[in-house]
Amino acid sequence: SPERPWWRDAVVYQVYVKSFADADGDGTGDLDGLASRLDHLDRLGTDALWLSPCYPSPGRDGGYDIADYFSIDPLYGGTAALDRLVKAAHDRGIRILLDIVPNHCSAEHPWFQRALRAPAGSPERALFHFRDGRGASGELPPNNWQSMFGGPAWTRTTDADGDPGQWYLHLFDAWQPDLNWNHPEVREHFEAVLRHWFDKGVDGFRIDVAAMLVKADGLPDRPGPDGLDPAANQPAVHDIHRAWRAVAEEYAGDRELMLVGEVWAPTAEHVTAFIRPGELHQAFYFDLMAQPWDSAAFRASTQRALQALDAVAAGPEPAGSLAWVLNSHDAHRSVSRYGLTHAEPVKSPDEMADVLRPRGRVDISLGQARARAALLFQLALPGAAYLYQGEELGLPEVMDLPDDARQDPIWTRSAGQEHGRDGCRVPLPWAGDDPPFGFSPAGARQAPWLPQPQWFASYAQDRQAADPQSTLNFYRSALAARRALLADLPDEVLWGEAGQIRDDVLVFTRGRLTVVTVFGDDPLDLPEQLGHVVLASSPMEGTRLPGNSAAWLTQSS
């Protein structure tokens, strides 16, 4: 219905295509591999799949460096494989979202290649941010911005005569030059990209780095005069989103397309500003993912989001919904984050990097119990829930990849100081006792692009499917219960309605659903008035919910 479009409280499953399933035996996942595993996703109970970028790319950042926005890389099966996937998914009622990367393109994109060959001040260079350097001979970068991956956000070019030339801006790797979103050609190009894929049957997009497209005029040094980042969250970025929303609305009537923004924002209000009426359908709320396993931290983070949401939802026009997320291809897997027993302290709540790249000792079984509990907490919140491939198998982060296997530009740019994000991107184990664990077909020509550890055997999908106590079967039950319960739940969350039981316990209710999460080690006797247990993340001992667990309860009607 128009009041409750499919995406409002969808379960969206993120596929890192390279690492999901390899059909052609080259050690790299592909779209036919994904299509062959739709049973798994159907049985799990996902409404939509978001595919990390699979366009032609030199692969300097796992495909987030796109050389052609209008086709699918032959490495992933080419455009015909996407057509097959869209049809097979739609036949099962599963929607397909692509990833679009508008902040930057690949250095191999024809636009950038032409800009490099053109002189300073040329129209070709105007599509990017080329500037003369500072210092007597332009030897210093134009401003003090650092790349999100470390090191300066500027790289100096070489002129045709071999002399040092202008600098170009890249908020990420040097292979990812930032596009100039003040240029009408850039705007037109991306609206054409949206229409191209919508016309091919794609149901929406996850927008990469959606808050950073517009930079403050004059590219001033960080921080800006207001203390905020001049490279992000500029008011004018919302105009771009409104234009994109209008493109999606051209298809209204027979299709319910949707746009979800990857927004890293300083406050919850900055996040919900992206889902005001007429803007994006959905925005990621990363703040919860950045919290340690702590009841006060979870409660405060969730409340910040819900309060900000109330403010944008108050008007007569419908606002979008939040995308709740605990795992992604950019973060250490939740099992390992929550299993940290001797974590180094987080310096401040907004220092995401400290939490997303934690250091310390990990207790895997404790982390697994907590990650299951966190899932029940996440799935009960009003809005969409995003899952990342492999979390339904309870996979921990692979911490000990051999150095020569690592591919993340964060690893290279930090000269090995940061391990980067490869540890959550290791190809999935599907079956069997040895690599490639069914990721590639028998007799594959090449080994998986990142080596799978031997201990992946105990996480294999087929083994877990046969075990009623497995994490996979827990995820299936949780998604089924959510589907059954959510249809008629109000968006309002009431905290601690049943009384704050203990400091380490969070209780909230949404209509007839109550969620109890125990963050501490001590079990909790569930008070009878909370209702009867529908699902618990660890085996109950009578009415006792073990520590590091969560339960859903309902009032019998």
Residue 172 within binding range of ligand TEU, rule CB under 6 A? yes
Contacts 24+ apart (CB under 8 A), 130-138: 130/157, 130/166, 130/167, 130/168, 131/166, 131/167, 131/168, 131/169, 131/219, 132/166, 132/167, 133/166, 133/167, 137/164, 138/164, 138/166, 138/167
Interaction between residue 73 and ligand TEU (CB under 6 A) = no
Question: Which one, 61 or 397, has the nearer CB to ligand TEU?
Answer: 61
CB of 221 to ligand TEU, least distance (A): 20
Helices 184-199 and 237-249: angle between axes, nearest 10 degrees: 30
Match 């079984």 to its residue by tokens: 365
Please list the residues that pair with 321 across neighbouring strands: 282
Q: Which of 61, 279, 354, 391 binds ligand TEU (CB under 6 A)?
A: 61
Please say which residue, 48 or 373, places its beta carbon nearer to ligand TEU.
48
Q: In the numeric block, which tokens belong to residue 229?
A: 């980042």
What is the identity of the amino acid at 354? D
Q: Give catalytic status of residue 250 as yes or no.
A: yes
CB-wise, 84 or 222, nearer to ligand TEU? 222
Is 330 an interacting residue with respect to ligand TEU (CB under 6 A)?
yes
The residue within the footprint of ligand TEU, chosen from 38, 44, 126, 356 (CB under 6 A), is 356
Least distance from ligand TEU to the Cβ atom of residue 237, Å? 15
Name which of 8 and 170 has its Cβ closer to ligand TEU: 170
**Minimum CB–partner distance for residue 427 and ligand TEU (Å):** 17
Q: How far is the CB of 515 from ligand TEU (least distance, A)?
A: 29
Selecting among 250, 344, 492, 541, the annotated active-site residue is 250
CB of 520 to ligand TEU, least distance (A): 29
Tell me if residue 467 is catalytic.
no
The pairing of beta strand 513-518 with beta strand 549-554: antiparallel
Residues, the chain:
557
For residue 438, how many C-alpha atoms fall within 13 Å in the half-sphere facing its CB?
Answer: 16
CB of 498 to ligand TEU, least distance (A): 38
- Set 22, 47, 208, 391: catalytic member: 208
With beta carbons less than 8 A apart as the criterion, state whether 531 and 513 touch.
Answer: no
Figure out which of the listed residues 145, 244, 264, 519 binds ligand TEU, where binding follows CB under 6 A. 264
Q: Choose between 22 and 422: whose C-beta lies nearer to ligand TEU.
A: 422
Determine phi and psi for 207, rounding to 5 degrees: -100, 115
Alpha-carbon gap, residue 84 to 35, rounded angstroms? 8
Residue 7 interacts with ligand TEU (CB under 6 A)?
A: no
- The verdict on 181 binding ligand TEU (CB under 6 A) reads no
Among 51, 148, 258, 505, binds ligand TEU (CB under 6 A): 148
User: How many CB atoms within 10 Å of residue 84?
Assistant: 15
Nearest-10 crossing angle of helices 364-380, 471-486: 10
Of 297 and 356, CB closest to ligand TEU: 356
- Cβ atoms of 181 and 113 closer than 8 Å: no
Among 101, 107, 263, 290, binds ligand TEU (CB under 6 A): 101
Query: Which amino acid type is present at position 377?
Result: F
Site string for ligand TEU, 208-227 (x = CB under 6 A): xx------------------
Minimum Å gap between C-beta 323 and ligand TEU is 13
Question: Is there a contact between 23 and 439 (Cβ–Cβ < 8 Å)?
Answer: no
Q: What is the set of active-site residues?
A: 208, 250
Residues contributing to the site for ligand TEU (CB under 6 A): 61, 64, 101, 148, 172, 208-209, 262, 264, 329-330, 356
